[in-house]
Every structure is written in structure tokens, then in C-alpha cells.
Amino acid sequence: MKNRGHSIFALARFPKTTFVAIASAVLIGTPAVQRSAHAGDVPTFAVDAAWPKPLPNNWILGQVGGITVDKEGHVWVIHRPRSLTDDEKGAALTPPRSKCCVSAPPVLEFDADGNLLRSWGGPGEGYEWVGREHGIEVDEKGFVWVGGNADNDNAILKFTLDGKFVMQIGKIAPSKGSNDTTQLGKPAETAVDKDANEIYIADGYGNRRVIVFDATTGAYKRHWGAYGNPPNDDKQPPYDPKAPVSQQFANPVHCVKLSNDGLVYVCDRINNRIQVFKKDGSFVKEWFFEKNTLGNGAVWDIAIWPDPKQSYLLRADGENNEIRVLKREDGSVVGSFGRSGRNAGQFHWVHAMAVDAKGNVYTAEVDTGKRIQKFKLTSDALR
């Protein structure tokens, strides 16, 4: 205490200009999450390590194949019960191996505070459940769309919020290729255009296209491949950052997102690029990211920022385990968060991502990650 008091007294004797300089240096060095937010700030985030709340019923999550936010701000998740190891699902074995745990149902709904609201999913009457869960979307009419990416998961399923089956597009059966209009090819993700009542599908792990159907009847509308051209299924060489850019999508075509101004954003994951289209499939532009990334690629998912102009895109990179903030107008990177790791706020194979109207970001991890996380907005980036 004596030394501390001496330091304060010594600081009081500094010239005023010196004190101002020290104070400025401290402010500049303070992390963005601790400074006062300013209108128009780039989005920044802090992890909420207490989200979600513990699951009931001795439940545990497997690999999380999709995550989305509905119009109520509720977070919907689809996970893979069959990805759990015997050690993780020990209580479900016969005889039980351990006290914990048993798999949660595949589809779960949480509120923004992390409370579980409902759960359902799995095989049932009148439909074919997928072999490996992948992708979930909740449209504004209150329907839940899910898909899968196992070998014969060539369909998407439509349910009510309570899990009542409504419709199936495609079949759990062998694929018929990237130009077939009745069957899918291990679809990765969906997006619903509420005004046109159309569902866009990133199709996906088997096929190399975006395909569009009527969201009520399931009638085929149109499809396209990279650069808006017809897709083909010819064998492609492994990705090489030094080679000419591919004229086809690689597998997987991993995401599709719709902006309010009529643009369609598509994740060409292995080719490390986002391609942008009009809704009719006309090519607009493309952006490349981390072009030297090999493995599973650098463009896994996109979330569109919820300010009035939708000024930013968030891009999940599951190979480098970062989320980057992009200017939507030109794709330039203006921020990032995350890194490989096991701690809260870090990632292992960050696979999917969603953002709510308040700017909170929700992430889902596959492989051995098997978790969901929430990141709270810490800047004034919604004006």
C-alpha cells in the first residue's frame, strides 16, 4: 500500500500534458469490448461461456450439423446422435457403461438465454429420416427444413415447429446427378425466399449446384452451377491454389444465403470462394479467401448482418477455425474472431453459424467439437 500511494503521488506531480498522453495510450490499448461503442462500428463479439444451459434428461449433443435463428429469435439446432462414441453415450448402452449420457433428439430449439424449449426428430411414419443430419432452416411461415449428407441422403424434409411431417423433396436413394430435377445430391443447406415462396438448396456434397423449388408444392423451378453455368459431375483435380480457378463448384457446395436486395451468396468451400448470383442464377461476382488453405477449405458458412443495409457478412472458416467479418459490398475482411482450440470462444471445425436480430452470433461444431456457442455483440454495429 505504501508503494501504491507513492506511485499515485508521483503521478500527480507529472505535467498535465504527460498525464493526457498516458491516459490516451491506456485507452488506445484497451480491447474493443471495453471501449465505448460508436455507431457504425464493425461488429465485435465476446463469447457467452454460460450458453446454452445444461441439457435435461442426461442428454448430450453429437456433431452439430446445422444451426439457424427463427423470426422469434429462437435458435434451432440439428445434431448427429450417431456421431456419439460409446464413451459419450455410456448410459444408453446395454448394460450401461457409465452414468452419462444419452443422445438428445436430433432437432432442438433454444431461446436466446439458452433454455431448451422443445426437441424432436428421427425416424417416423410417412417419411424417410436422413442418415447423417446436415443443415436446418426455419422459414417465416413456421416450417422447419432439414437435410442430410450420408451416401443416400438425397432429399430434404419439411416439418412443422412441433415436428409433424409436411413434405419431402427428393428421396433417400441413389443420386441421379447434378442436372436431375427430381432428386438431390447430399444437400448441405437451405434458404427460403418468403416473397417468392421458393426454397434454395446448396446441393451440395454429391451434386455441384444450387437448385430452387416451390416451397409449398416442391415443384422444380431452376438450377445452376458455378458462374451460373450448367453443372457437371466430371472428376475434378484436387484444389491447387496455383492452378487456374475452377469453372465448377467443388464438393461440397456448403451454403446458400439470400440478402434483401435479391442477391444469392453461395459457399464453394474447398475452392475457398464465395460466388454471388441474382435469383435467376445470373453470375454477379466472386471473392476468394485464404487461397492457400487446403484440407476442407476456408468458406464453410455465411451469415448476413441484420442492420438495415445488411452491411456485413460473417464467414465461418472451419479449417482455420475463424469467423471473419466482411464488407458485403466488396468482400473485404474488416474483422475476425476465434482460433483453433477447446476453450470457450475457440473452435474445432466450426461448421455452421447464424445471427439473430440483436447481432448475437451462434456457432455449431462438428468432428470432435460437438458443441454450440453464443457470441454477444459488443459494438454498436446495427445502425
Average per-residue pLDDT for the chain: 91
Report the sign of the C-alpha dihedral through residues 196, 202, 206, 207, in that order: positive
Model pTM score: 0.89
CA dihedral 335, 339, 343, 348 (to 10 degrees): 120
Q: pLDDT at residue 20 above 80?
A: no
Q: Cis bond leading into 95, ω under 30°?
A: yes
Encode pLDDT of 264-313 as tens digits.
Answer: 999 999 999 999 999 999 999 999 999 999 999 999 999 999 999 999 99
Per-residue pLDDT at 383:
82
Encode pLDDT of 37-47 as tens digits.
Answer: 444 689 999 99
Encode pLDDT of 192-239 as tens digits.
Answer: 999 999 999 999 999 999 999 999 999 999 999 999 999 999 999 999
Q: Which amino acid is at 191?
A: A
Half-sphere exposure of 110 (CA within 13 A, CB side): 21
